[in-house]
Amino acid sequence: MDSSGASVAGQAPTASTDLGSHRQLFIGGEWVASSVDATFEVISPATGNAVASVALGSRADIDRAVASARAAFDQDAWSSYGLERRLELLRRFKDLVAQDHERLAQLLTAEMGSPITQSRTIQATNPIKLMEYLLELAESYAFRSIRRHPTGTALVTREPVGVVGAIIPWNMPAHQAISKIFPALLVGCTVVLKPVPQTALDAFRLAELFAEAGFPPGVLSVVPAERDVSEYLVTHPGVDKVSFTGSTAAGRRIAELCGHDLRRVTLELGGKSAAVVLADADLDRTVDSLRMASFRNSGQICTLKTRILVPTSLHDGVVDRLVDLVGSMKVGDPADEDTQIGPMVTQAHRATVEALIAVGRREGASVVAGGGRPAGLDRGWYVSPTVFAHVDPRSTVAREEIFGPVVTVSTYENEEEAVRLANDSPYGLSGAVYTEDLERGARVASRIRSGVVELNGHPVGVAAPFGGFKDSGLGRENGPEGLSSYTELRSVGLPDGWAGEA
């Protein structure tokens, strides 16, 4: 164990370099050289060693990708293939991804440090579940409907929005890629996917499977790029909609750029989600739920419940259990089947997490577990899972998204204060309520200003809309709402007595 009590795995071995290097981009259904012949070294977060390299795209490559997507939409009319033909290809792609599950999980662990058991059960599995759901939803989705009223009769159709620029983050890259690509293609859009270079290996693997499935040229392109090229994609006149997942700061910039051109945009941004523990909650079950609700993917998930709000009388009991919880979580090599906390994705990100922990100390919060680097892990970018107790809800660590294995515990005196504290945040992405009284729990959940609230740790699933209030974003993914976000509504006025079908 390290000084905080967390269980520590032995030093991670040197990661395998047999991950495959991608010296080409996937544009227009073909593997082509980057116009600038630039590459990016993929560094293992577990060791700090280079494990692969990927091609980087330029503005010229974005031009090529958008032109190809534009041609596939406007001229080759991917949207006019018909739903059944699109579904046939998407089913084939889904089956190939499912068959590739283990390889995809290994890539995700190697490139961003997700513990392998979580890469298998969450990172590589959730995209498959989402695809299965969307394929089923398509059978009943109202692409066309007739609306009758004394003022007129209309045929209302949902038309594909056009070319989509999809920009995804590093923390859940495969899931975020599928959550944008799949619904967009299903309704007839074409997509230019821009992954973060350090986690582009899985995106290129998805491109290989996409090509194997037999999609027509231009329907999907994959171009990893740095920030300036990403911004160029956002402003490209050939792009009809941008779908972005990432930080709130970057989201503000994208919203500004899209607003100038009245370009459609969906933004899934940051969070600082509260878990409200009510007085009657079963503390053992509550804290065990927080193992995944607060610490999965080593704390690098925007929906994690990182603000634990508890009645004053339960503070010490919750804190003691949290200390025991993090002490039971093995920290180390993400390829180890027993590891629950892996490294931060980059050295720079670890420095950010450590700097915020230092701010928490300076502002007077008590570090009761973790707070430093785990002993025995001299390579890689590890941070011990950290618990702050007696945290002022106005302090930095209680308000800023840390994006690491760090939680804060603050107290409240009554239900009104609990709700006020939960809502006292610029974010509104997720939240949780823990109680034995489910009716009361649902009532409290309805007062929390966030797009998702989990009762006693139960997830909402892929059929429910996902997105945030306030600074946590605009629009929704998943569910019918996520499918609709890639469509435009058209109304056609019909003669009185129209007897045709939708």
pLDDT digits (tens, 9 = 90+) for 395-434: 999 999 999 999 999 999 999 999 999 999 999 999 999 9
What percent of the chain is predicted at pLDDT more than 70?
96
The tens digit of pLDDT for each residue in 287-327 reads: 999 999 999 999 999 999 999 999 999 999 999 999 999 99
Is the Cβ–Cβ distance between 179 and 130 less than 8 Å? Answer: yes
pLDDT of residue 10: 44
Minimum mean pLDDT among 5-19, 357-371, 466-480: which range? Answer: 5-19
Quick one: how many helices (H) and strands (E) in the chain?
A: 16, 22
The tens digit of pLDDT for each residue in 204-233 reads: 999 999 999 999 999 999 999 999 999 999
Write out the H or E segment, with its range, that includes residue 277: strand 273-277
Q: What is the mean pLDDT of residues 146-167?
A: 96
Statement: residue 2 has pLDDT above 50: no
pLDDT of residue 18: 54
Q: What share of the chain is helix, strand, coil (3-state, %, to 5)?
A: 40, 20, 40
- The CA distances from residue 168 to 75, 290, 318, 372, 376, in Å, are 27, 26, 35, 30, 33
Q: Is the pTM of this model over 0.75?
A: yes
Active site members: 268, 302
pLDDT of residue 6: 53
Angle at 146 between CA 142 and CA 149, to 5 degrees: 135
Statement: residue 381 has pLDDT above 90: yes
Residue identified by tokens 């100038």 is: 260
User: What does DSSP assign to residue 112?
Assistant: H
CA gap 23, 210 in Å, rounded: 18
Is the Cβ–Cβ distance between 377 and 342 less than 8 Å? Answer: no
Taken in order of first residue, the domains within the chain and their CATH numbers are 24-269+474-489 (3.40.605.10), 273-462 (3.40.309.10)
Amino acid type, 274: A
Beta bridge partners of 428: 469
Is the Cβ–Cβ distance between 267 and 473 less than 8 Å? Answer: yes
Is the Cβ–Cβ distance between 288 and 256 less than 8 Å? Answer: no
Region for 22 from its dihedrals, namely left if φ exceeds 0, alpha if ψ lies in -120 to 50, beta otherwise:
beta
CA gap 85, 90 in Å, rounded: 9
